[in-house]
Amino acid sequence: MSRQERTQPPAAPADENVVWHPHAVTREDRERLHNHQGVVIWFTGLSGSGKSTLAGALEQALHARGVSTYLLDGDNVRHGLCRDLTFSDGDRRENIRRVGEVARLMVDAGLVVLTAFISPHRAERQMVRDLLAEGQFIEVFVDTPLAICEARDPKGLYKKARAGELRNFTGIDSVYEQPERPDVRLDGEQLVTNLVSQLLDLLRRRAIINS
Ligand SMILES: Nc1ncnc2c1ncn2[C@@H]1O[C@H](COP(=O)(O)OS(=O)(=O)O)[C@@H](OP(=O)(O)O)[C@H]1O
Ligand SMILES: Nc1ncnc2c1ncn2[C@@H]1O[C@H](COP(=O)(O)OP(=O)(O)O)[C@@H](O)[C@H]1O
């Protein structure tokens, strides 16, 4: 999908009487103001893999370089926009659909959007990729073995899941489908500073931020 096409409606509304309004100020105009492109950096991985830590550290590094960012974090979004959703497969899908639409709007606003969601299913990650233009969705797989995530267990959730007190927990009794061709695979046991450097290099190579 080209960037031009993305200025068209993303999808048909449920009601045929709803009409799309094109507006004079475009995403390209807003990107010029920000002095960088809008893009989504989509972190996926098990609970405890390091998604929030890495997304937060990268956001700090980008912010310090004058980049306009916004971080959407799974735990936080589930306190508001998605507070009605559980961890059933259907609700996880709806969670990612809503977040994908919000991220798309933020890219349209010209922001560098960082997201930290387990997003365990390939299909729903692909769904978000399909919402965006070519190159606007960067999938970052935080590849940390389950045993390490479980040893970290900062919220005690793995312990609860193993004790049978928490159902549908990702990696225990709910699936995590590893990305087959992520844009980046990070070794989640490396130092956070090294991992952030790898991501900044990628953003420079893709001309999303200036060298
Ligand atoms: N059953 C179950 N499975 C997985 N995770 C659980 C569950 N219950 C609560 N939590 C907490 O919710 C955080 C994951 O929310 P997400 O919105 O990222 O999940 S998903 O993408 O819809 O699968 C996740 O946060 P992270 O540890 O930061 O990934 C957990 O703290
Ligand atoms: N690269 C890393 N090396 C060592 N510990 C890490 C690393 N990244 C995150 N952590 C630690 O692992 C735990 C889980 O990290 P977090 O970012 O909350 O993961 P997630 O958002 O994927 O659940 C935290 O205690 C965090 O400090």
What is the dotted CATH code of the domain comprising 34-206? Answer: 3.40.50.300
Q: Is the CB of 69 under 6 A from ligand 2?
A: no
Q: Is 0.95 exceeded by the ipTM?
A: yes
- Kindly state the percentage of the chain with pLDDT values over 70: 97
The count of other CB atoms within 10 Å of the CB of residue 32 is 11
Active site residues: 119
Which pLDDT score, from 0 to 100, does residue 7 have? 63
46-99 pLDDT per residue, tens: 999 999 999 999 999 999 999 999 999 999 999 999 999 999 999 999 999 999
Q: Give the Å distance between the CA of 78 and the centre of ligand 1.
A: 9
Q: Which atom of ligand 1 lies closest to the CA of 82?
A: 17
**What mean pLDDT is predicted for residues 123-145?**
98
Q: What is the pTM of this model?
A: 0.96
169-184 pLDDT per residue, tens: 999 999 999 999 999 9
Pick the residue whose CA is nearest to atom 24 on ligand 1. 47
Q: Is the CB of 37 under 6 A from ligand 2?
A: no
pLDDT at residue 4 above 80?
A: no
Q: Give the Å distance between the CA of 149 and the centre of ligand 2.
A: 8
Q: Is the CB of 52 under 6 A from ligand 2?
A: yes
Domain boundaries, the chain: 34-206
